[in-house]
Amino acid sequence: MSTSYTFRVLDADGSVFGKGCFTYDGPPGDVDIAHLLGGAEGSRGPKLTAFWYHDSVVGTLSLKSLLSFNFTQGEQASPRFAINAWNVPESTHGLTAGTASPGQLGVTSAHRGNGGELSCQGRKLEFPKLAEATTVVEEGQTVIPVVDLVVVIDSSSSMKDEAETLSKVIGTAIDSAKTKCPSNLRAAYLGIEGTFSKTVFTTTVRNYLTQTAKADASLLKGRTRAQVTDEQRKQSGDVEEDAARAIEDIATHFDWRPGAVRNIFFLGDEPVEGGLSVTPGGQDQGDIEAANRAIEVARQTGTRVHMYMGTGKFSSDAAKHERIHKAIEAEYARVARETDGQFFASQDNLSAFQAMLEKVICGSKTDPRVTTTEFCCCQEYVEQLGETAVPR
């Protein structure tokens, strides 16, 4: 282990005129060093491994110029510091100064070089200070995530009255979120086996996936009207309400950008497999199993699914309507929760959608970079510009 100290020579007005450093073998703390040129007899204490001093009079002096050096500190002896460094054998440039202590500056008794003998300028030697490593903290860089958002709507007639309003509310929320921060968001608006005029939902899930994303139609889970019999339709077969199948297909076959954060936002008001069933609860085991499959695929593909529950009408009986509504709402919330998405219970709650979207699309900063550089007692340190004065 080695320890380094720095010291300064001050001008008569207290400004810095010269600076130096030294390094010795051993830990910091109590120390008593006496160094004579070349380690001559009379030297004691830890070995000096580096010494540098520079000012505009003497230039730069190194360990080989150090005729004598004394540094003592600790509880065993009075702290003191003195140096005698010259360009031997010429001795045309050099400095003799001391003895300095923590509370007392040392006198510069000899100071010769450019400008001749300048020992009468009143310059003083400071007691050394322990040199410490330099820590640099660089601010983290802003990372803007790539975010893909697919807004998909149940295109059945029960959603028609909400589609235009939702189109505007969600579009405004997305536009507002994008103004809050730099973003890289791509949004697509799709309807399940149908579209709504005067809205942003002008393309079906099937058409987008097969025509734009170039998916194989035979691999899609979503059903067409032709694939559903009249009997199935009576039981629970409105293909426009196949939310779970649409989530599976989009998660699997959408043309997600490389590295994008994947998000699906589903808007609906009925159970996720073909809408309301003829069962008393309006939602049956088939809906729950379809939701389970959608959740599994979303997890496998790293897709977050956000769910919006519209204001559907399920029965003229208020109690029955409330019971069915709560059951469907709970299943929507489960799909969102189990895919790390967010559930929205009504249009009034959509203000939270903008806040959620801002968190997703806004850039975050990487951790600051902390670099620690050990102190180097070297020629470069003592010759750094801006810290020493020119002779007067």
The confidence score (pLDDT) of residue 349 equals 64
The confidence score (pLDDT) of residue 389 equals 46
* Residue 313 reports pLDDT greater than 80: no
AA letter at 312: G
**Is 206 in the same domain as 96?**
no
**Is 223 in the same domain as 332?**
yes
**Is 126 in the same domain as 197?**
no
* Residue 162 reports pLDDT greater than 90: no
Which range marks the domain in which residue 248 is found?
A: 142-365
Top-confidence residue, 330 or 316: 330
Q: Which residue has the tokens 């393309």?
A: 203
CB 375 within 8 A of CB 132: yes
Domain assignment present for residue 388? The answer is no
Closest CA to 47 of 23, 22, 24: 24
Domain assignment present for residue 389? The answer is no
**Is 230 in the same domain as 353?**
yes
**Is 46 in the same domain as 99?**
yes
Domain assignment present for residue 387? The answer is no
- Biggest CA–CA distance in the chain, Å, is 113
The confidence score (pLDDT) of residue 353 equals 79
**Is 184 in the same domain as 327?**
yes
pLDDT in tens, 8-42: 999 999 999 999 999 999 998 899 999 998 777 77
With a CB cutoff of 8 Å and minimum separation 6, the contacts of 120 are none
Give the torsion sign (CA, 167, 169, 175, 177).
Answer: negative
Domain assignment present for residue 392? The answer is no
* Residue 366 reports pLDDT greater than 60: yes
Query: Can you give the pTM of this predicted structure?
Result: 0.60
The confidence score (pLDDT) of residue 4 equals 96
Top-confidence residue, 69 or 353: 69
Token pair for 102: 């923590």
The confidence score (pLDDT) of residue 364 equals 63
Q: Hey, what long-range contacts does 300-303 have (CB within 8 A, 24 or more apart)?
A: 300/251, 301/251, 301/252, 301/262, 302/262, 303/247, 303/250, 303/251, 303/262, 303/263, 303/264, 303/339
Kindly report the number of other CB atoms within 10 A of residue 132's CB atom: 11
Length of the chain: 392
d(CA 41, CA 320): 105
User: Based on the structure, what is the number of domains in the chain?
Assistant: 2
Closest CA to 128 of 2, 8, 10: 8
Domain assignment present for residue 304? The answer is yes
pLDDT in tens, 241-255: 899 999 999 999 999
* Residue 392 reports pLDDT greater than 50: no
pLDDT in tens, 92-150: 999 999 899 999 999 999 999 987 887 778 999 999 999 988 888 888 777 788 999 99
Domain assignment present for residue 314? The answer is yes
The confidence score (pLDDT) of residue 336 equals 95
Domain assignment present for residue 391? The answer is no
Distances (CA, A) of 276 to 79, 297, 319: 91, 23, 17
Please give the share of the chain, as a percent, with pLDDT higher than 90.
Answer: 54
d(CA 116, CA 230): 112
CB 287 within 8 A of CB 278: no
**Is 118 in the same domain as 213?**
no
**Is 193 in the same domain as 324?**
yes
* Residue 274 reports pLDDT greater than 60: yes
Residue 252 belongs to domain with CATH number: 3.40.50.410
CB 310 within 8 A of CB 159: yes
The confidence score (pLDDT) of residue 84 equals 97
| 21-43 b/e (C-beta count within 10 Å ≥ 16 → b) | bbbbeeeeeebebebbbeeeeeb
d(CA 92, CA 114): 9
**Is 352 in the same domain as 377?**
no
The confidence score (pLDDT) of residue 234 equals 61
Q: Tell me 207's DSSP state.
A: H
**Is 211 in the same domain as 321?**
yes
**Is 251 in the same domain as 346?**
yes
Residue 221's pLDDT band, with cuts at 50, 70 and 90, is very high
Residue 238's pLDDT band, with cuts at 50, 70 and 90, is confident
Measured CA angle at 344 (ends 195, 252), to 5 deg: 55
* Residue 60 reports pLDDT greater than 50: yes
**Is 9 in the same domain as 32?**
yes
